[in-house]
């Protein structure tokens, strides 16, 4: 397994886009195992089961908007 120093060195070699992906992964990983996260995911799943969904086209449009903003 890599040491923190090795991870830091690897991060320095990455492009900004790659570092953003790592950042998103770490943020997700940091909250995925919390009670608040499980509660929120349960709430969202219940809404989806009741018909509150988005189409693939809506997802793609939102992704493009966020990408233009650098998110």
Contacts (Cβ under 8 Å, ≥6 apart) of 19: 11
Q: Tell me the whole-structure pTM to 2 decimals.
A: 0.48
- pLDDT of 2 above 90: no
pLDDT in tens, 12-66: 999 999 999 999 999 988 888 889 999 999 999 999 999 988 889 999 999 999 9
Tokens of 30: 């940091």
Nearest to 71 by CA among 32, 30, 37, 23: 23
């Amino acid at each position: 397994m890599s040491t923190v120093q090795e991870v830091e060195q690897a991060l320095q070699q990455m492009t900004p886009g790659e570092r953003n992906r790592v950042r998103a992964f770490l943020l997700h990983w940091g909250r995925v195992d919390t009670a608040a996260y499980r509660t929120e995911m349960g709430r969202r799943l219940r809404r989806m089961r009741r018909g509150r969904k988005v189409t693939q086209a809506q997802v793609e449009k939102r992704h493009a908007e966020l990408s233009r903003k650098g998110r």
